[in-house]
Structure 1
Amino acid sequence: MSRKPFYAVVALLFLAGLALSLYRHFTFEVPWLPGEKRQIWSIEAKVEFNAGRGPVKASLAIPGTQTGFTLLNESAASPGYGLSFLEQNGGTRAEWTIRNADGPQELYYRVDMLADPNARPRSPASIPGIVSHSVQEPYATAIEQVLMQARARSADAFSLTRELIRELDSRQQNAQLLAQYRDKNRLLVEMLNRAGISARLVKGLVLEDGRRRQSLVDLLQVFDEDRVEIIDPASGQPGQRENLLLWEYHSSPVLDLVGGVHSRVTFSMIEQEQPVRLALAKKFEESNLLNFSIHTLPLEEQALFKGILLIPIGVLVVVLMRVLVGLKTSGTFMPVLIAMAFIQTSLATGLIGFLLIVSMGLVIRSYLSHLNLLLVARISAVIIMVIGIISLFSVLAYKLGLTEGLKITFFPMIILSWTIERMSLLWEEEGPKEVLSQGGGSLLVAVLAYLAMNNDLIRHLTFNFLGLQLVVMAAVLLLGNYTGYRLLELKRFHPLAKED
C-alpha cells in the first residue's frame, strides 16, 4: 500500500503548524524567546493658563500611532471641565470646555506610547500646500542667492534642506541678514516653498527618562513626491530618532486657547518596561478573529491551558523513549501524568514522594493478594490505601516542618493506585527484575518528560504558538511509522556483530 497519503498528511500538519506559528510571530509580534520586554513611555502634558471669569475652551494637539510608536492608553484629568477627543485636520485634539472659570487653571493629559519598530501611522501624512510669500528687499535677493547656492550642491528636496541649514548657519553676509528677517525654522519652510517643495514645521518631544517640565522642539517635515522625511533644523540630521516622539504634525497649533491668557504647556515623562504579552495586549485587542491565542481567554482558562498544552511535549518524549530507545514503562502514558505531578511538587520532592508511596503501597498490596478479593474491590482498597498513605505523609511532613512534603497531594491518586496494582501483578508473574525494569523505565521517562515540560523556552512556545501542537503531532505520526531496531535492542545483537 502506498505511503504517499500518510506522508502528505504529515507534511500538511507540519507546514500548517509552522505557518500558524510564523503568522503569530510576524503579525502579532509574539517573540520566540521568553522574558522579552518592551519599552513604554508614560508622558504627561500639563496645560497652565489664567482664566478670565467666563467660558473657556482649550484645545491641545495630542499624538497618535506613528512610525516607531504605538498609542496604548490615554487619559485626562480636568475637574469641572468637559472633555472631548476630536478629529481635526487629520489629527486628534483633546478639547476641554467649561462655562465659567476664573484664575489659574491646570489641565492634564496623559498618554502611554509603546516603542514599536513595526508601528506605522494609520494614514499617510497629508501634504501641505505650497504657500507663496512676498518678501521685501534686500531680503528677497538674499533668499534667492542662498537658494541658488544650496540648489547647486543638492540633488533632491532633502539634500536641499540640509544645504539650506548649512548656509543659514554660516557666517556669510546673506545668512546674517536673513537672521534679522525671520526665525530660522520658519524661514526654512518659506525658502523650501519658494523652491517648489512642500514642507512644514512639526513639534516633537525628546524622550528622556525622569525628565520634568520639558518643552516641544521644532522639526522640519519635508516632502519629495511620495517620500517624506523628518529633519532636525538645528543640526540638519535626517530621520526620526528613536527617542523622538512627534506630538503635533498637522500644521496646527499645539494649544488653542479661548478665554484664557498666559498659557503654557510642559511635559513630564517616565520610561518603564513591561513583558511583551502585557505591552502588546492593548495593541491587538481588536484583532479577535485571526488572533488564535490562549491570551484571549479569561485568566482562569489561561492557567488551565498552560498546563494542558505541555502534555503533547510529554507524550512526544514517551514516544521517543519507547519507540526509538525501547524503554519499558508501567502503563503507556503514566510517566506523563507523573511528570505533571513533578511540575507541581518539584523534581526532588516528587521522586521521594513517588518512591515512598509506591513502596509502601506494594507492601500493603502484597497482603491484599492473600485475601483473594475481586478485582474491583481490590483496586478500590488500593485507592483508599493510597489516599491514606498520602494523608499520612502530608501530616508527618507538616509536623516535621517539611512544607515541601505537602505537595505530594498533587500526585494523581488513581494513576498511582493502578501503578501499584500493575507492579504487584508483574511481581507475581514476572518477578522483581521486571518490576524494577518497568518501574525504573517509568521514572526515567517521567524525569525526562518533566525536564522537557518544565523548560522555560518550551513552556513559552507551547503557550504562545498553538501551531506547534500540529508540528508535535506530525512528529508523533512519523515516529509511529518507525519499524527499525530500538537502541536497547542493539545490545542483544552485539554478540552477532562480534562473530561477523
Structure 2
Amino acid sequence: MHSRKPFYLFVALLFALGLSASIYRGIEHHVPFLPGEQVQSWTVDAKVSFQGKGVPAEVSFSLPQDPAFEILVENTTSPGYGLTISNNEHDRRAVWSTRDAIGKQDLYYKVTLIPTGQIQIAAPDTPPAVEEYLWPATEQTAAEKVIEEVWSRSASNLTFAQQLMAVITGKDRSQNVELLLSSQSPTKLFVRMLHSKGIPAMEVNGLYLEDQRRRQQLSSFVEVYHKQQWVLFDLNKGTQGRPNNLLLWERTGRSVLDVMGGVNSLVNFSMLQDTRSALATSIDLMVNKNALDFSLYQLPLEEQSLFKSILLIPIGVLMVVFLRVIIGIKTSGTFMPVLIALAFIQTTLLTGLIGFLLIVSFGLMIRSYLSYLNLLLISRISAVIIVVIGIIGLFTMLAYKFGLSEGVTITYFPMIILAWTIERMSILWEEQGPKEVVMQGGGSLLVATLAYLAMSATWVQHWVFNFLGMHLVILALVLLMGQYTGYRLLELKRFKPLAGE
C-alpha cells in the first residue's frame, strides 16, 4: 500500500501557500478582506504666496514624507512656472522656477494621503552625529546650570528630555530658564540643551489635520532619538508622543520654504477629510508602486469582467464535490449544475429556475418524439440543440411581448449543456423511469441553487477575484475530499432499521 503522507503534505502545502498569499496581499497591498470597507483620506492643499521682484524666481518647497501617511495622489498648479520634484529618499522637494516673477505670485500643491497606522518612526541603529551648540557668553552659565540640574534628576536620555521639557514649559520657570527663553523659542532651546549632552534630536515641522480647516500653519516639534526610535515632543503644548491627526511635513532640518527672487513669502494649508473605497484605494496605491504587473487589475475592463465570472467556477466546483461526494446528492451530469448556477447569476434565481424547468420540460416532450424517428446520436443531439435554441428564442420573444423583462435573460443559459441534459434525462426516463429523472433533475437544481447562493455572495466574489491564493485553498479542499471513500450522508438512511432495533 502506498503511503498517503506525500499527498497530505502536498495538500497542506497548497493550503498554506494559498492562505499565506492571501494574507500577504491583504497586509502588504492593503487589499480589504471584506467588500465594502471604507478608509479615511485627507486632502491637503498648500498655497505658496510671495511678491515677485521682476527677476528670475526659484521656489523650493518641502513635500510630506511621513511613514504614518501614504501618498495616494499629488499634483500642482503653477501656470507659467517650470516644475521639478526631487524624489530623494529622505528629502522630497518641489522646485518651481520662472524667468520673470512680477507682483503677487500664488503656487499650489495638493496631496491626498491615506493613514497607514504606523505612528512609531523608526530610527537608524547608529545614532546620528550631534553638533554641540556653542552658547553665547551671556547665556552659557545659565544654560549649564539648568542642564546639570536636570541631568542629575534623570536616568536616561528619554527621562532627561522629559524632565527638560517640564522645566522649559512649566509655569514656575526659574530665572535661568526665563533668561534663555528671552532670546530663543522653547523648541530651539530644547534641541540645543539636548545637543549639549550629546543626545540626538532635531526640529521638525508638522501639520494638525482637522476637517474643513483653512489657512493653517505648520507647528514645530522635536524628535529625540531613543532606542532606535524617534520620540516626538511638542514644546508648545508640553506633551510627549504623537497624536493620530498629526502629519509630519518636514523632517530633514531644512526650511520648509525657500524663495529666491521674491519677498514676503508665506505658505498656508487647507485640509478636508473624505471617505473612499478601501479596494479602490489599494488599487491606486499598487499603481503608484508599479505592483500591478501580476494583478488582474492590469487587464482591460472587459477582460476583468470575464475573469470575475470565470473565477467563480471553482466555488461552484467545490460545492458540487462536497454535495456529491460527502452528502451524496445525485445530479444529471457532473458539473452541469455549475454552469446553470452561472446562468442564475445573470438571470436571478427565480427567473432562472422557471426558465430551466420550462426549457427542459418542452425539450423532453420534443425529444420523446425524436426517439421514434430512430436517428443517429449525432443527428439527434444536433436536432435537440436546434430545438433548445428555438425554445429559448420563443420564450424570450413572449417574455418581451408581455413586458416581462426578467424573462429575456434566459438567453444566458448554456444551450449545449441544456441539450445534453435533455438527452441524458430522456435516456434515463426510458431506462430507469420518471422517478430517477425527477431525483437527478431535482438534485441538479438543488446543487445549482446552493452553488448559486455561494457564488453570488458578495464576500465570495470579492475573495476569489482579489485574493487569487484562495484558489489554491479550494484546490486543496477538492483534493482532500477526493480521498473520501466512506458512506455518503444520504446513504446512511439504509441503516435506520438497525438504529431502531
* TM-score after normalising by structure 2: 0.92
AA aligned to 1:63 is P
Cα 1:86–1:157 shift into 2, 3 Å:
same
Cα 1:370–1:456 shift into 2, 3 Å:
same
What are the Cα deviations for residues 367-405 of structure 1, in whole angstroms up to 9, with x where unaligned?
222333322222222212222222222222222222222
What are the Cα deviations for residues 413-468 of structure 1, in whole angstroms up to 9, with x where unaligned?
11111111211222222211111100000000001111111112222221122222
Cα 1:469–1:119 shift into 2, 3 Å:
farther
Equivalent in the alignment of 1:41: 42
Equivalent in the alignment of 1:135: 136
Cα 1:247–1:483 shift into 2, 3 Å:
same
AA aligned to 2:135 is S
2:308 maps to 1:320: no
Equivalent in the alignment of 1:405: 407
Match of 1:213, SS state, is strand
Match of 1:33, SS state, is coil
Cα 1:220–1:36 shift into 2, 3 Å:
same
Matches within 5 A, 1:458-477: 458-477=460-479
Alpha-carbon distance between aligned partners in 1 of 2:292 and 2:123, rounded to the nearest angstrom: 23
Equivalent in the alignment of 2:8: 7
AA aligned to 2:310 is I
Equivalent in the alignment of 1:28: 29
Equivalent in the alignment of 2:161: 161
What are the Cα deviations for residues 303-342 of structure 1, in whole angstroms up to 9, with x where unaligned?
2221111111111111111111111101010000001111
Alpha-carbon distance between aligned partners in 2 of 1:88 and 1:342, rounded to the nearest angstrom: 54
1:287 to partner: Cα distance? 6.3
Match of 1:373, SS state, is coil
- Contact 1:162–1:236 at 8 Å: present in 2 too? no
Alpha-carbon distance between aligned partners in 1 of 2:423 and 2:81, rounded to the nearest angstrom: 75
Cα 1:12–1:196 shift into 2, 3 Å:
closer
Matches within 5 A, 1:304-319: 304-319=306-321
Cα 1:124–1:73 shift into 2, 3 Å:
farther
* TM-score after normalising by structure 1: 0.93
- Contact 1:390–1:409 at 8 Å: present in 2 too? yes
2:395 maps to 1:393: yes
Match of 2:193, SS state, is helix
Cα 1:464–1:191 shift into 2, 3 Å:
same
1:225 to partner: Cα distance? 6.2
1:120 to partner: Cα distance? 8.8
Cα 1:89–1:50 shift into 2, 3 Å:
farther
Equivalent in the alignment of 1:86: 86
- Contact 1:128–1:200 at 8 Å: present in 2 too? no
What are the Cα deviations for residues 161-210 of structure 1, in whole angstroms up to 9, with x where unaligned?
23222212223342433332322222212222223222221110111222
2:252 maps to 1:250: yes
1:302 to partner: Cα distance? 2.1
Cα 1:374–1:99 shift into 2, 3 Å:
same
Cα 1:354–1:88 shift into 2, 3 Å:
closer
1:34 to partner: Cα distance? 2.2
- Contact 1:199–1:222 at 8 Å: present in 2 too? yes
Stretch of structure 1 that moved more, 183-192 or 234-243? 234-243
Alpha-carbon distance between aligned partners in 1 of 2:264 and 2:469, rounded to the nearest angstrom: 59
What are the Cα deviations for residues 84-112 of structure 1, in whole angstroms up to 9, with x where unaligned?
12367941211111111211110011122
Equivalent in the alignment of 1:117: 117
2:85 maps to 1:96: no
1:22 to partner: Cα distance? 3.0
- Contact 1:130–1:198 at 8 Å: present in 2 too? no
Equivalent in the alignment of 1:19: 20
Cα 1:128–1:49 shift into 2, 3 Å:
farther
How many residues matched?
Answer: 497
Equivalent in the alignment of 1:76: 76
Equivalent in the alignment of 1:341: 343
Stretch of structure 1 that moved more, 224-233 or 187-196? 224-233
Alpha-carbon distance between aligned partners in 2 of 1:122 and 1:309, rounded to the nearest angstrom: 41
Match of 2:213, SS state, is coil
Alpha-carbon distance between aligned partners in 2 of 1:405 and 1:312, rounded to the nearest angstrom: 28
Cα 1:128–1:259 shift into 2, 3 Å:
farther
Match of 1:106, SS state, is strand
AA aligned to 1:161 is A
What are the Cα deviations for residues 37-71 of structure 1, in whole angstroms up to 9, with x where unaligned?
3322221110011101111111111112x321112
Cα 1:267–1:340 shift into 2, 3 Å:
same
- Contact 1:70–1:119 at 8 Å: present in 2 too? no
Q: 2:236 aligns with which of 221, 234, 237?
A: 234
- Contact 2:186–2:236 at 8 Å: present in 1 too? no
Alpha-carbon distance between aligned partners in 2 of 1:482 and 1:87, rounded to the nearest angstrom: 58
- Contact 2:59–2:95 at 8 Å: present in 1 too? yes
Q: Which runs of 5+ in 1 are unaligned?
A: none
AA aligned to 1:72 is L
AA aligned to 2:180 is L
Stretch of structure 1 that moved more, 159-168 or 83-92? 83-92
What are the Cα deviations for residues 226-274 of structure 1, in whole angstroms up to 9, with x where unaligned?
4322211123332322211111111111110111111110111222233
Matches within 5 A, 1:194-205: 194-205=196-207
Alpha-carbon distance between aligned partners in 2 of 1:293 and 1:463, rounded to the nearest angstrom: 10
Equivalent in the alignment of 1:364: 366
Equivalent in the alignment of 1:300: 302
Matches within 5 A, 1:278-297: 278-285=280-287, 292-297=294-299
Match of 2:454, SS state, is helix
Matches within 5 A, 1:264-283: 264-283=266-285
Equivalent in the alignment of 2:488: 486
AA aligned to 1:343 is I
Stretch of structure 1 that moved more, 41-50 or 364-373? 364-373
Alpha-carbon distance between aligned partners in 2 of 1:90 and 1:391, rounded to the nearest angstrom: 67
Cα 1:202–1:48 shift into 2, 3 Å:
same
- Contact 1:45–1:265 at 8 Å: present in 2 too? yes
Equivalent in the alignment of 1:373: 375
Alpha-carbon distance between aligned partners in 1 of 2:404 and 2:129, rounded to the nearest angstrom: 74
1:121 to partner: Cα distance? 7.9
- Contact 1:89–1:250 at 8 Å: present in 2 too? no
Cα 1:186–1:12 shift into 2, 3 Å:
closer
Match of 1:212, SS state, is strand
Match of 1:283, SS state, is helix
- Contact 2:331–2:444 at 8 Å: present in 1 too? yes
AA aligned to 1:92 is R
